[in-house]
Amino acid sequence: QVQLQESGPGLVKPSETLSLTCAVSGGSIGSGGYSWSWIRQPPGKGLEWIGSISSSRSTYYKSSLESRVAILVDTSKNQFSLKVISVTAADTAMYYCGSGAPGRGDYWGQGTLVTVSS
Amino acid sequence: YVLTQPPSVSVAPGQTARITCGGNNIGTKSVHWYQQRPGQAPVLVVYDDSDRPSGIPERFSGSNSGNTATLTISGVEAGDEADYYCQLWGTSSDLNWVFGGGTNLAVL
């Protein structure tokens, strides 16, 4: 069974770049059929999809975030990453990585809280 | 595309809870459901309208028709108290995920 673990800074200053990594175990990120996603949840609010990358390395992003986000895969380290540029307080959230069949989250990481504050 | 869920549903232990997810012609799309207990990551409990991942009790079931998808939890237990989210993928020409606003299930 695939297991996911997010890591990255818990505090980011406004206007800077948020960078998170999701380590994959129990499966190979290079194998086909899976997609790899990032989802976030502001404190006390619902889930918001950020974007996904497919096994063919095609990327799909929420339209309102597309100009600021990037998802990359590193097959040598069996991990994928999220970068969000020019962050504001509105980017403060619990960030989850997920994977599974295209279009859904069969497996989720435990989440990592990122606070944007000076 | 908007998915509409009731903010809260209450049910007594042992009864049946039904959580709805409304959307335009949602019956033509595949809907997934997640359970999120307080302080925990979401867990997939139903996928493709009515299939259950391994390890999910048979008490969890789903249906989808017309403009409403429904998650049904039979014989509700105290441990089912959580937020539940519906989600679908691929509306019109894009491959975005869309989440409903979530429903808090309270077990009285």
Cβ-Cβ contacts under 8 Å, B94 against chain A? 60, 63
Residue B95 in this model has a pLDDT that exceeds 80: no
Phi, psi (degrees; rounded to nearest 5) at B78:
-55, -35
Does A46 contact B100 at a Cβ distance shorter than 8 Å?
Answer: yes
A49: nearest CB among B40, B53, B96: B96
Query: Which residues, including other chains, have CB under 8 Å from residue B2's CB and lie 6 or more apart?
Result: B23, B98
B53: nearest CB among A106, A109, A110: A106
Does A100 contact B87 at a Cβ distance shorter than 8 Å?
Answer: no
B44 contact A CB<8A: yes
**pLDDT-derived band at B92, boundaries 50, 70, 90:** low
A47: nearest CB among B42, B88, B95: B42
Query: A28 and A6 in contact (C-beta within 8 Å)?
Result: no
Both structure tokens of A116: 């944007």
Q: Annotate B58-89 with b (16+ C-beta within 10 A) or e (fewer).
A: ebbbbebeeeebbbebeebeeebbbbbbbbbb
pLDDT value of residue B60: 98
Does A46 contact B90 at a Cβ distance shorter than 8 Å?
Answer: no
Query: Cα Rg for chain B, rounded, in angstroms?
Result: 13
**Cα torsion angle, B1, B27, B30, B91, sign:** negative
B41: nearest CB among A60, A96, A102: A96
Cβ-Cβ contacts under 8 Å, A103 against chain B? 30, 32, 88-90, 95, 97
Q: pLDDT per residue over A37-94, tens digit each?
A: 999 999 999 999 999 999 888 999 999 999 999 999 999 999 999 999 999 999 999 9
Residue B96 in this model has a pLDDT that exceeds 70: yes
A103 contact B CB<8A: yes
